[in-house]
Amino acid sequence: MQHYFWRVVLRGVPAVGLLPFFILSSCNIESNFSRLPASLRVVTEPPEARVYINGQFVGQGHVLEAQPAELRVGESFMTVQSPGYFPHDLRLELVPGVTKVEVRLRPVPL
């Protein structure tokens, strides 16, 4: 059935007219997709918790809630830490646009 479709679509189209189609179909769309910006909005409890992406400090929770961090699209590792609380680690798959993450840290028992 698929071959019949191509015969109907391609009938009467000069080969040169198909060149843009073949060029576009061979482009790596994923590489263009990964260049788009991703924003990470983080809401933490406690609000002063420190947020690290791939080991680098990006801000405190209350700041990242109001002003999301601009990051690259793709896989990232996030750690949220605050004194007196257990740290929390997450693996994120960031996509273009805003990703919102909420983290409530557990207090360390005294």
Q: Which tops the pLDDT comparison, 28 or 79?
A: 79
Determine contact, residues 94/81, Cβ cutoff 8 Å. Answer: no
- The pLDDT, as a whole number, for residue 6 is 46
Rg (CA), the chain: 23
C-alpha dist (Å) from residue 39 to 50, 81, 83, 107: 17, 20, 26, 28
Q: Which tops the pLDDT comparison, 6 or 43?
A: 43
Residue 28 has pLDDT above 80, yes or no: no
Determine contact, residues 58/67, Cβ cutoff 8 Å. Answer: no
pTM, full prediction = 0.67
Q: pLDDT tens, 30-68?
A: 555 556 789 999 999 999 999 999 999 999 999 999 999
